[in-house]
Amino acid sequence: MKILCIGRNYADHIAELHNEVPDEPVIFLKPDTALLKNNDPFYYPDFTQDIHHELEIILRISKEGKNIQPQFAKNYFDAIGLGIDFTARDLQSKAKSKGLPWDLAKGFNGSAPVSEFLPLADYPDLKNINFTLRLNQEIKQQGNTSFMLHPFENIISYISQFILLKKGDIIFTGTPKGVGPVQVGDRLEGFLEDKKVLDFEIK
């Protein structure tokens, strides 16, 4: 399976990092070894001193497809959940300053905690889903899918022009504003609407 991620998909997050608004979706990948499931703890690695949380809605691809048109994209995913795109911001900034890829800043072990997946039937309006991250019980990120620059169907369509999507692939759909650092001892809780789907510690 693949973990495909969308960068710069919420204007307020683009602004807080002083990035340019892209004309097309920004795509990057994480290896399957980045997955962290079942609310297992995240162990802070020793190669970075500045890991940031980025809360995102994730999609589960349900069948193989390529060159998918937006109007048919809903037929290719069957569930959503929450994921955190942990980012070693110091490694990313160093790589970006040199014009180099920043795969290691995004793809290290355990950098993609994911929740259980919930059926689409639970969310009749995919363009109006609220999601929230609490850090030590304090709200740090709040988003709504209505503010996406590229909605789910456009993301799937765009990726599928270049990369064959397969059953079991996961797509991270972008983070809203409020990203920030985590420390050993922190507890992260993620909510889809009012349902808590993420709850784990940093060790």
Question: Which CATH superfamily hosts domain 3-202?
Answer: Fumarylacetoacetase-like, C-terminal domain (3.90.850.10)
Please tell me the distance from the alpha carbon of residue 89 to that of residue 111, in angstroms, as a whole number.
12
Domain boundaries, the chain: 3-202
pTM over 0.85: yes
Q: State the Cα–Cα distance between residues 171 and 80, nearest whole angstrom.
A: 9
CA distance 57 to 173: 6
Residues 115, 90: Cα–Cα separation, whole Å: 26
Digit-by-digit pLDDT tens for the chain (203 residues) are 999 999 889 877 666 766 777 788 899 999 999 999 999 999 999 999 999 999 999 999 999 999 999 999 999 999 999 999 999 999 999 999 999 999 999 999 999 999 999 999 999 999 999 999 999 999 999 999 999 999 999 999 999 999 999 999 999 999 999 999 999 999 999 999 999 999 999 99
DSSP result, 150-163 = S-HHHHHHHHHTTS
